[in-house]
Structure 1
């Protein structure tokens, strides 16, 4: 089901008339509206700080940082401030998966038990069952959201939310305890359960298991693997594993807004431990902007363009929300989101150090202002449709021509008579037919308002 965010974007595209070239820098009016919107959302959701970077292809076209990463020390947020990115870490784990796939180290259909024999993968019938790299990376394994080894972690989250006890820390299970839990864990959902489009049985445990399998398959510490194979090639110098701030590596302090007392409360330290592949990284808006740009490049070094597209298309790491792919990270004290529009090569990252923030409304706001700048310009010049269209792989052709300022087609002209074509939508023409049956022409452009292909009668015709 298309969500409200996507419906609004579709409406923007349908209403577009005279769009601006994608190379134009965001103008002062849009910039001012973005700044007003960020301030409004920051105030509405009580965020001590908000950092936003918007990217088009290889360029940051807008950035904004407001507030403080540390309220007590009045440390101002900047585009280079480090934040916990939580589940956005899964994107790096997914990329590492595809890298090892490209190298032939693993296969997406490989049984994870080949590398993690501690995992039995018991199905709902009580029998051991295999689970693949593809199932884990796309959240289709049916595994629970979290391992039973994380019971203390889950309890402490609730305890802190209930009591605000300063002595509580949030510690996910150690690798040792996580491995022990794999002997008894079973699927929460059946294999290959039929679900609505883009619905996933989201599993932090699944990504922790995935990271463990990748570590063993590569015969290298998982965190070292990601840093060496992804962060360094992309020059993400302020990205890595860690959730606790130190003198050498300052990470934003997380906060919870206590509405009844109208004050900010510091949130507990979070230790990712075994679930680091699912949510143990930190990064900056500048680094994540570079990461976004890498998804649009054909020579990004870390992955082939084909693998990048496969990740986006099949939801490997990414959450699909057409025409976007995205991923959100959330923990007590932090909210992060990365959003991509692959076709327009536009994306943005939002970093906050607050517990609650409505990204859907924020995304709608950014989309309304930014996407029309880069949307494909509809072809309005009738002359662009004129030409010879030859059936792909066949000998037939048709002509579309201008006469007295109107477009005509030679397709079935002996039956339809010389009736002019009419516009029926963006890059679409229609010939009034007979007996209630019209003939529809749908054209594809190359992104520069040049018609290159005609879809007619479910066949492809190429413009000569």
Structure 2
């Protein structure tokens, strides 16, 4: 298995771990406004914005321990912000990069990986709202070239692409060495064309980033703009976000957190702005922890799509992945948390919000510089999801 293959498996396993965290707690009401522009958190400091230091929210100690443990294990940066009715808490620990050792700040930008998919899904839903497409139409109806690039076994609906139920192979499974350069959406699809399609296409969940390469081609054709520009227009500019952009945009961010890995020979590799992510509809986004919280709060409140579109994104109800959103069980309200997880070389990120909008958390980690992990079990990503859900549950 390729070193990056664990990304989608981790999401699935993390969801199962989160669902197991059941507690008999009261329901929550009320929804916070999306956070305003945040002031930087001093290096090494944890800040509770709504309570005195002697009355920190119950969830703060667990998040603080999580951050300290990661730093002790070699993570170069850990940034967290949680907002809830019972209090707010944020922390920025570590350094922005290992060359300058500048202290990391709460508002520093970071790679957020697969969280990019949520914004692509919003752009697709806007096309649905405008009557340009329908979710249960085959993508071939709007994108005939799809057939010649990937050679699907039959019609592939837009809904199945959004929900990872198309059966399309993951482009990482290609027998070719992908390497680290910029790829077009067509190239990513062509990589997957060399791999056999999964059984049960159109019904069985099978996480594959290639789905979003196809969706990017669809959006670009109908909008006449590249996917990064469409994402900005549909998701970023309406909310006035300043630190969220697609990689490949110039000039590059100045306050970017650098995530590192090491080769088997021990050489340190800086993965910041890796060409592979440039313009990618599945891993290409850069954002900040406060802006991730602002974004998912706005999405959950219906500020980006209609209530009907949001309901579609939340379904199917009893599946872990909806349309561009990952679901985690919320025992506080017997409902769900919605958001996404993103793991790419050197980085991990997460954003979750309760269905009623009363609790939300965003996290970003520049992971300990080690060789890429291989296999199903990525303990750091599992622990991130588990820690986030536990904190949200404690804020009921």
Instruction: Flag whether TM exceeds 0.5 (same fold).
Output: yes
Aligned equivalent of 1:28: 56
Aligned equivalent of 2:258: 253
User: 2: CA distance between counterparts of 1:282 and 1:325?
Assistant: 20
User: 2: CA distance between counterparts of 1:127 and 1:248?
Assistant: 39
Q: How does 1:234-273 map to 2 (within 5 A)?
A: 234-242=239-247, 249-256=254-261, 265-267=269-271, 270-272=274-276
Aligned equivalent of 2:158: 133
Aligned equivalent of 2:106: 79
User: 2: CA distance between counterparts of 1:330 and 1:234?
Assistant: 25
Q: 1:130 to 1:351 in 2, by over 3 A?
A: same
User: 2: CA distance between counterparts of 1:117 and 1:243?
Assistant: 28
Q: Answer whether contact 1:141 1:191 (CA < 8 A) is retained.
A: yes
Aligned equivalent of 2:76: 48
Correspondent of 1:312 among 311, 314, 318: 314
Q: 1:72 to 1:370 in 2, by over 3 A?
A: same
Aligned equivalent of 1:401: none
Aligned equivalent of 2:225: 220
- Asked whether 1:113 is paired with 2:140, we answer yes
Q: 1:127 to 1:38 in 2, by over 3 A?
A: closer
Correspondent of 1:276 among 262, 274, 280: 280
Aligned equivalent of 1:342: 355
Aligned equivalent of 2:42: none
How far residue 118 of structure 1 moved from its aligned partner, in angstroms, is: 2.2
Q: Answer whether contact 2:169 2:192 (CA < 8 A) is retained.
A: no
Q: TM-score, normalised by structure 1?
A: 0.64
User: 1: CA distance between counterparts of 2:157 and 2:94?
Assistant: 44
User: 2: CA distance between counterparts of 1:37 and 1:177?
Assistant: 43
User: 2: CA distance between counterparts of 1:117 and 1:60?
Assistant: 52
User: 2: CA distance between counterparts of 1:251 and 1:150?
Assistant: 33
Q: 1:210 to 1:370 in 2, by over 3 A?
A: closer
Q: 1:264 to 1:192 in 2, by over 3 A?
A: same
Q: Which has the larger radius of gyration?
A: 1
CA deviations over 1:123-172 (Å, ceiling 9, x no partner):
9xx9751111101000000000116779332xx4xxxxxxxxxxxxx225
Q: What is the number of residues matched between the two proteins? A: 344
How far residue 192 of structure 1 moved from its aligned partner, in angstroms, is: 3.6
Correspondent of 2:289 among 281, 285, 298: 285
* C-alpha RMSD over aligned residues: 3.7
- Asked whether 1:65 is paired with 2:67, we answer no
- Asked whether 1:371 is paired with 2:393, we answer yes
User: 2: CA distance between counterparts of 1:241 and 1:252?
Assistant: 15
User: 2: CA distance between counterparts of 1:202 and 1:31?
Assistant: 31
How far residue 183 of structure 1 moved from its aligned partner, in angstroms, is: 6.9
Where structure 1 has 5 or more consecutive residues not aligned to the other structure, the ranges are 157-169, 375-464
Instruction: For CA contacts below 8 A with separation 6 or more, give which structure has more relative contact order.
Output: 2
Query: Which segment drifts farther, 126-135 or 344-353?
Result: 126-135
Q: Answer whether contact 1:118 1:182 (CA < 8 A) is retained.
A: no
User: 1: CA distance between counterparts of 2:30 and 2:244?
Assistant: 33
User: 2: CA distance between counterparts of 1:370 and 1:246?
Assistant: 36
Correspondent of 1:321 among 317, 323, 328: 328
User: 1: CA distance between counterparts of 2:184 and 2:78?
Assistant: 32
User: 1: CA distance between counterparts of 2:240 and 2:87?
Assistant: 15
